[in-house]
Every structure is written in structure tokens, then in C-alpha cells.
Chain A
Amino acid sequence: MKRNWPLHVMLLPTLVLVIIFQYVPMAGIVIAFQDFKPWKGLTGSEWVGLDNFRFLFKYPDIGQVVWNTLVIAFFKMAAGLIVPFLFAILLNEVRLMAFKRVTQTLVYLPHFLSWVILGGILLDILAPDGGLVNKAVTALGFEPVFFLGDNNWFRFTLIVSDVWKEFGFGTIVFLAALAGINPALYEAAEVDGASRLKQTLHITMPALMPITIVLGTLSIGNILNAGFDQVFNLYNPLVMEKGDIIDTFVYRLGILNGKMSFATTVGLFKSVVATILIATSYRLAYKFANYRVF
């Protein structure tokens, strides 16, 4: 038998880093139960029990912030599932391989650009005074729209731009599932005289259902993640009402306003709910679709 101590030694550096940068901050959560003052430190700050939580539930904006988060996250998840699903089916009909490859190359690209870059680009093309998109809007005879500064449009802009960034990458999983469909099924349907539409409805779509259910179930764990990177790079004081989400709220409160205890309370609340949801969603995915991560 091989001696195992080298294995433990190999794991040591990672273990140390994970303990310092992941587990120590978890212990730092205690400041949610304190009135933390940086100059007094963890041991010197006053303990306040559940005061921060009581304050949280009474905080005037919190309801709106949670609601914004849920609405934005839900529509992103739904659209982020439906659009790649349909796109993969349409792409699957393409017989010209060169066309298929070029299409894939182009639609996967935005996934790899950060929201800082895309934020810069969107600010330019969505500008109300002559941005590219508004030039198209006015050319069609409509009034220009202030996509990033109008509370009626901001969530819509977030959802559409998120779908725009991620739909291509999202198709990969569906394309892999499509490649796994047994061609004999289509041949049999062909012999029976089924049209392509019928084949799509009765072979292709049912074949994609298991993976769709898995993805849908797993995304439940993300219902409180409305996308900090995106919102932070696109929002501004004009659209705070409809655009502020839990993560941006925690950032402003904790880092900018120095209310570290209260921000940690909000963050902890979110983490606990998210962890329960993630654990549940993985259990469900395992139960219904026999899906396992490792």
C-alpha cells in the first residue's frame, strides 16, 4: 500500500487558503449580531443580539429591494431557459456546417466579455440622444427611449441585455442533448409520414425535457441572485426604485456607508435562504432527473 502522507501535504496549501479566505469570513458573520465598529474590532464591539434582524424587517426599502431581486432574477431565469431552448432547436435545423459554426462563434462571444465592457458598450448604444438603438427606434417612428434611466424600462433592459449576453452560451448544453438523440427515431417518424414540425414537437422537444427540468430546478437556487455585476454596471440613481437589488443594497450600505453590521445581516439573511434553496434544488434535481454534480 502506498503511503498517504504526501496526499495530505499536497492538499495543505489549498486547505490553508480556503480556511483563511472562506471559513474565517464565515466566522466573521458574528458581526451581524454586533454593533460592529472597525476601530473596536470583533472582540471590542458591542453585542446587540437580534437587533439588526429586527431593524432589517422594519427597514423601509427592504421590501422593494427583495421584490426587485425576485422579479429580475425570475425573468432572467425563465428567459435564459426558453431562448436557448428554442435557439438550439432552430440551430439544429441548419445543414450548412460553416453557417452553423460561424453562428455559434458569434453568439457565444458576449458571454466572455465582462459587464464592465458590456456596460460601457450599452451606455454608448442605448444613449437616449442618438445612441445606435435609439436611432433605430426613432427611424421606426417611435419616441426615443431612455432605457437605462427610465423606471418603466430599466428591468426590461436588464433582462433583455442579460439574455443577449448569455443565450448563446446557454445553447451549448441543449446542443449536446440534441446530438444524443437516436436518429432512428426521426427515420421511423419519417416513414410514418410525420412532418418536420411534428417531429420537432414529438421527438426533439421531449428529448430536451430532462435537461430542461434539471436546469430549471438548479436555477431555483439562484432566485436571489439578480446579477450584481450587471446591475451595478448599469444602474444609476434615476432607476434605484426598480433596479436596486439585494447585492447592490448590501454594497452601498456596507462599503460606501460603513454600516457593516447591518449589511452583513442582510448578506447573511440572503446566504441562508440561498443555501437552503440550493440544497433543495440539488436534491430535487437528483430525485427527478438523477442529476449529480460529482
Chain B
Amino acid sequence: MYHKTLGYKIFNIGNYVFLGLLSLLCILPIIHILAVSFSSMAPASSNLVGFWPIGFTTDAYEKTFGNSNFLNSLGVSVMRTVLSTVIGMALCLMTAYPLSKEDLHFRGRTMYIWIFVFTILFSGGLIPSYILVQKIGLMDSIWALVLPGAVSVWNVILMLNFFRSLPKELEEAAFLDGAGQLKTLVLVFIPLSMPSIATLSLFTMVYQWNSWFDGMIYMRDIKDYPLASLLQTIIVQQDFSKINVDPKQLENISQRTVRAAQIFIGALPILLVYPFLQRFFVKGMVIGAVKE
């Protein structure tokens, strides 16, 4: 047995230590930010804080939530995430159901598939999309953040593969009982797909919460920025020109502890849904990756 050899035992200890260190490497930066955000200003700005707050205070969070830009953006982010997830999932189900039929029973399926899949392969690119949003008058509207990305072809493919894995007899029974296509989708397919729907919804939520680029180019006024775009501007670019606040408040939001607090709040929703996400995504990935 290889487990009993001295060489393997030494390797095993080394392996545990190495993997443990690598895992820590993934979480320590986030713990550091959390520690900074709860520290007093002086130790934070003189780089004394490691992984535990020094001079514990919630001051940074009070200043963050006292900033009206931040609250506005938080609202925009929640809004876009909810709208995109609900609309996106409804469209995903309505698209995946017809496309899960056999070519034989649904003529035109192949054509539809190609119309959708082609958009994965080729796109007009940044500038034509930008001009389009401008021309149809969506600038500064939340719909500019929701509609262009509402349909995820990848999600449709995952969903339709799942629909195809359901027994054909269920559908045939529903049709025999006189249900139409819509009724079959709503009463038979959707209830059976709840785990898949939950998985895809969580992924959509994470994606929407994290999106920052569309907010920066489609919103001209910072009050319409989703949180990710706001953080991009004031923390990553450190560009305060668009923000309309008095100098004292500006000083507040550029403090290191307040920056850390804002980063942490930006990451918090992801950290909160992560345990649920993790339960699903390994399964979901495998469904997408392994097929016979």
C-alpha cells in the first residue's frame, strides 16, 4: 500500500501544508480589506493593519452610507439585478423550450438555433452597440443595462440540454391530456427544472451585480451608475470629477478605510449567495461539460 510508505507520508504532509497555504492566499486579501474597513484611520493609513482591525470602529461604514452617491448606486444595482434576472430567466425558459424539441416535430428549430448561436461567434463590437443604444434613446435608462444582455445564449443551451434530459413520456402525457405547448412548459417542464432554474438565476444575479462597463458608457450622470461602475470610478480610477460633493465629503470617501468598506460592501452580496451558488455550480458545470 502506497499510503504506508515513508515517502508518501512526507509528501502527504507537504501537500496538506501547500494546499492550505494556497487556500489562505485566496481569502487573505479579502480578510485584509475587511480588517482595514473596521480599523481607525491612523493605523490604516500607516499600514499597520494586517488581518485584524486595529482600533475597531464602524466609522468607515457610517461615512459610506452617509454618501448619497453610494446609496443611489446601490439602488440602481439592486434594480438592474432583479430586472435582468427575472426577464432573463423568463426569456431563457421561453427560448429553451421550443428549441428542445426534435427537428422532426418543430420545423425551423435549426434555423433558430443558428440565429442564436451565431451571436456567440460574432458580434458587432463595442462601438456599433454603443451607437445603437444611443440612437434608440436608451442612454441614462436602466433598460440600457437590462435589455442588451437579457438573453444569454449560453444559459439557453444549458437549459435546453436539461429539458432534453427529461423523459419524453411526460410531455406526451401532457399533450394527450389536452395541454397546449404553453401549459406543458408551465405545468410540466418548469416545476421539474427548479434546481436548474435556481442555478442559472444565481449565476445571472452574480453576473449582473458584477457588471460595471455598460453602466460607465451608457450612463452619463453618476447618479444613474450601478454600484460596480461607481466603485470602478472612485476606487479604481480614483476619478472624482463626476462626483458632486463638498470637499469634506470628498476627503471622507477617499480615505483608505472608507475605500475598503466600499469594496467590501460591493463584494458582500456575492459572498452571501456564494454558499448557495457553490452547492449548484459544480453540478451545473458538469451537466454542461460532460455529455455522451
In whole angstroms, what is the CA distance A90 to B290 when docked? 22
- Give A161 to B228 CA distance when docked, in angstroms: 20
Q: A25-B128, A124-B260 are in contact. Are A7 and B106 (CB under 8 A)?
A: yes
> Which bracket fits the contact residues of B?
35 or more
Please tell me the number of chain A residues within 8 Å of chain B, measured between CB atoms.
89
> Which B residues are CB-close (under 8 A) to A250?
125-127
A8 and B161 contact, CB distance less than 8 A = no
Which one of B17-25, B58-66, B190-198, B245-253 contacts A? B17-25
From B117, B129, B211, A25 is in contact (CB under 8 Å) with: B129
B165 on interface, CB distance cutoff 8 Å: no
Give B88 Cβ to nearest chain A Cβ, in Å.
10
Q: Is the beta-carbon distance between B260 and A10 smaller than 8 angstroms?
A: no
* B259 interface residue per 8 A CB criterion: yes
Query: How far apart sit A176 and B90, CA to CA, in the bound complex (Å)?
Result: 30
Q: With contacts A28-B132, A106-B27, A121-B33 known, is A112 near B122, CB below 8 A?
A: no
> Which of B11, B19, B105, B281 has a CB less than 8 Å from the CB of A103?
B19
Judged by a CB distance under 8 angstroms, whether A199 is at the interface is yes
Q: Which of B26, B95, B125 makes the CB contact (< 8 A) with A11?
A: B95
Residue pair A90, B19 in contact (C-beta under 8 Å): yes
Which residues of the other chain, B, contact A103 by a CB distance below 8 angstroms? Answer: 19-20, 22-23
Judging by beta carbons under 8 Å apart, are A132 and B32 in contact?
yes
A31 within 8 A of partner (CB): yes
Q: Is B168 an interface residue (CB 8 A)?
A: no
Classify the secondary structure of A's interface with B. helix
Across the interface, name the chain B residue whose C-beta is closest to A132. B32
- Which residues 78-123 in B have Cβ within 8 Å of A in the complex? 91, 94-95, 97-99, 101, 105-108, 112-113, 115-117, 119, 121-123
Report if A112-B22 is in contact (Cβ < 8 Å); known contacts: A11-B98, A25-B125.
no
- The CA of A148 and the CA of B130, in the complex, are separated in Å by 30
Contact with B along A129-141 (1 / 0, CB 8 A): 1111001000000
**Contact (Cβ within 8 A) A254 B126:** yes
Residues A255 and B130 in contact in the complex (CB < 8 Å), given A6-B182, A13-B91, A116-B228: yes
> Which residue from chain A places its CB closest to the CB of B291 in the assembled complex?
A292
Contact A90–B210 (Cβ < 8 Å): no
Q: Kindly state whether residue A47 has any CB partner on chain B within 8 Å.
A: no
User: With A14-B95, A255-B126, A294-B157 as given contacts, are A125 and B119 in contact (CB-CB < 8 Å)?
Assistant: no
Residue on A nearest B95 in the bound complex, by CB: A14
With a cutoff of 8 Å between Cβ atoms, the chain B residues found around residue A267 in the complex are 125-127
Closest residue to A186 on the B side, CB-wise?
Answer: B2
| Beta-carbon contact of A113 and B7 below 8 Å | no
Q: Which residues of B contact A293 (CB under 8 A)?
A: 157
Asked if residues B232 and A116 are in contact (CB atoms below 8 Å), the reply is yes
**B256 and chain A: residue at smallest CB distance:** A124
Q: Which residues of B contact A164 (CB under 8 A)?
A: 25-26
Within 8 Å by CB of A279, from B33, B112, B121, lies: B121
In the complex, besides A90-B18, A254-B127, 8 extra interface pairs with C-beta distance below 8 angstroms are: A4-B181, A25-B125, A103-B23, A112-B210, A114-B228, A116-B228, A164-B25, A247-B126
| 3 A-B pairs with least C-beta separation | A25-B124, A28-B128, A130-B47
Binding site for B on A (CB under 8 A): 1-2, 4, 6-8, 10-11, 13-15, 17-18, 20-29, 31, 38, 87, 90-91, 93-94, 96, 99, 102-110, 112-114, 116-117, 119-125, 129-132, 135, 164, 168, 172-173, 176, 190, 195-196, 199, 228-229, 232-233, 247, 250-251, 254-255, 260, 263-264, 267-268, 270-271, 275, 278-279, 292-294
